[in-house]
Copies of this chain bind each other. A is one copy, B any other.
């Protein structure tokens, strides 16, 4: 297949490209490199593999239209990766999330591309009253602007399925962690320890607990489900089936850091910031029933990530 991956130079995108190439697909990476990094794809370019990189923004509809003809399926992963940004800048998720997704769908409609896989998020559930939260949970009242853009993206996709006969895979990700991470709590903790190896400030009381998934488990699950399911709209939570607290993450990062004496300090309060969902547990029965077994549970994925990012970031330099 010829596959266009938006955000293909990013954290999840670059791992997905690895899997797509491994299975013999040709890949067009469409990325503005605002958070994606070309060196995440360097091993493909070096080996002359069938990966082409288009450095462009999804808001540039003309360039997007130019690159769509001949594409069999779009994996739409590009988005602002910083959920917390919405508390300060309110139009980033609207533009880089909602309007970007509209542009992807419009370019697909015009080019006759019929399949889209979308990286949505468990944050569409907001503060769910049912946990673990299944895919059919309602109402969907996200509490972050990022979450609003993911819900808007899902709705646009389902509308294009209903109106223009697209086929869609919607994946609601748990917190994705792993190598090449550029954001998130583990990344933040390591940078804090790099600045001050004696103390680690944790936002909130540390009791926030969420589901995690390791990035290669996530990318592999997406590709598996796209290849094995065939409804008009296929929608799945992707997670490892358990949760891990922020307190435990802080402990693991400190353990893996090898730093002798770190004081972990909590700012207090039940959530990290306005729009942060303090408790999130994803039901992943449908994912597991499809034949996927994640390699890591939440705590395992965090320890694996802490090791990898301490190496990447260079804590001890």
Contact = CB atoms under 8 A, between A and B. Distances in A.
A57 interface: no
Contacts of A13: none
A158 B135 CA distance: 19
A230 interface: no
A163 interface: yes
Contacts of A98: 94, 98, 152
Interface of A is mostly: helix
Best-buried of A90, A135, A148, A151 by chain B (most CB within 10 Å): A148
Q: How many copies does the complex hold?
A: 2
A159 interface: yes
B151 A155 contact: yes
Contacts of A145: 156, 159, 163
A251 B163 CA distance: 29
Contact of A148 (B94, B106, B136, B156): B156
A258 interface: no
A91 B233 CA distance: 22
Best-buried of A151, A233, A274 by chain B (most CB within 10 Å): A151
A284 to B, nearest CB: 16
Contacts of A143: 158-159, 161-163
Given A144-B159, A152-B155, A158-B143, A164 B235 contact: no
Contacts of A149: 155
A111 to B, nearest CB: 14
Interface of A: 86-87, 90-91, 94, 98-99, 102, 105-106, 109, 124, 126-127, 135-145, 147-149, 151-152, 154-156, 158-159, 161-165, 233, 235, 274-275
